[in-house]
Amino acid sequence: MRTATTVELSGAPDEIVTLVVEAEKLGLDVCWVAEAWGSDAPSALGYLAARTERMLLGSGVLQVGTRSPVMVAQTAITLSNLSNGRFLLGLGASGPQVIEGLHGVSFSRPLTRVSETVDIVRQAFAGGKIAHSGTEFQIPRPGGEAVPMRLSTRPEHAIPIYLAALSPAMLRLTGRIADGWLGTSFVPEGAADAYFAPLDDGLAAAGRARADIDVCQGAEVAFAADEDELRGMVADRKKELAFSLGGMGSASTNFYNRAYSRQGWADVAAEVRERWQRGDRDGAAGSVTDEMVLATTLVGTEEMVRARLAVWRGAGVNTVRLYPAGDTLDAKLATLGRAIELVGET
């Protein structure tokens, strides 16, 4: 498995840049940069490209709908050329709270929007005149004076496209058109039906196999010295998982809750969401089980983490995205360094 991490430069940017630079020295293969509702990803990626030499750098993710597809292509080409071909284009639909609540753009038909965006981006990469007549995008805009154009810049290297996907429909699309899958809320034991079945359906529809796509999954990694410390770690992470299950997305749309439900925790996910939405945050966290935390993270003793990494590899993960725990930069780097070593040993 390759190793990766994800950062966002919204807070303490100097520390985060140092973490990325030092992570490259530790042997990290890929650094994804998120933007969520904080700092934008492309600005950070351009800076990190200048501060690193070897590792791949990816947008994890650019939110489809907040930029025009051609602007996405222009940004990707610029970052790829600046980094000497080290850029990976990660795209995602995000959710209604961010897309509608923050950007004021309709979240309707996210699947169509992502599919059409990828088509337009690949046209731009190919260097020809760009023309698209779809449900979401019309290029050139009909009824005006414009004619199809091509970009004046070209990608000097191949630019792989990754899609962030949780729902079965988006997973099928990922299998059909993407070079990689950016996943989360991943439980290896429940992934065959919840994730890989629709992904494989999409791959088969495109005449492709699992070997043709990079399966990139992420989880927090933390090492406990003993069982007592582990119990405290698990308790702390229940609050974070409760937020994902109850607070992410809008009142009616939570892709994380649905993903956990499909992997065997429908009753717990529903209870957590109900408690969270009526303001009982402690009760929501208390409803999360120890098993859920341990199944969806890489938290445990060193031997436990080593064993879980082997399970992830066996489940079909090609790239493991490691979110290192730690109260200080040195602690995070120590955790990340040991995790990278364990990945190499499994």
pLDDT tens column, 243-281: 888 877 666 677 788 888 888 888 888 898 899 888 999
The pLDDT of residue 82: 98
Percent of residues, the chain, with pLDDT higher than 70:
99
Q: Which of 99-103, 153-157, 235-239, 278-282 has the highest mean pLDDT?
A: 153-157
Where residue 109 falls among pLDDT bands split at 50, 70, 90? very high
Q: Is the pLDDT of residue 328 over 90?
A: yes
Kindly give, in sequence order, each residue whose CB lies less than 8 Å from that of residue 18, ignoring residues fewer than 6 positions away: 329
Contact present, 164 and 91 (Cβ < 8 Å): yes
| DSSP-assigned letter for residue 141 | P
For the record, the structure tokens of 193 come out as 């039906």
Between CA 202 and CA 153 the distance in angstroms is 32
Q: Which of 16-20, 74-78, 266-270, 306-310 has the lowest mean pLDDT?
A: 266-270
pTM of the model: 0.92
Between CA 254 and CA 232 the distance in angstroms is 27
For the record, the structure tokens of 94 come out as 């995000």
Task: Verify cis geometry, omega within 30 degrees of 0, for the bond prior to 140.
Answer: yes
Mean pLDDT for the stretch of residues 192-203: 96
CA angle 2, 226, 316 (to 5 degrees): 25
The pLDDT of residue 242: 87
- Among residues 181, 60, 67, the alpha carbon closest in space to that of 124 is found at 67
Between CA 137 and CA 115 the distance in angstroms is 11
Give me the domains of the chain, ranges plus CATH numbers: 2-221+299-345 (3.20.20.30), 225-298 (no CATH)
Q: Is the pLDDT of residue 223 over 80?
A: yes
Q: Is the pLDDT of residue 332 over 70?
A: yes
Mean pLDDT, the chain, integer: 94
The CA–CA distances, whole Å, from 179 to 52, 91, 210 equal 24, 11, 10
| DSSP-assigned letter for residue 146 | -
Polymer length of the chain: 346
- Among residues 94, 59, 46, the alpha carbon closest in space to that of 255 is found at 94
The pLDDT of residue 251: 62
Between CA 250 and CA 184 the distance in angstroms is 18
Mean pLDDT for the stretch of residues 89-118: 94
Q: Helices 168-177 and 110-126, interaxial angle, to 10°? A: 10
The pLDDT of residue 195: 93
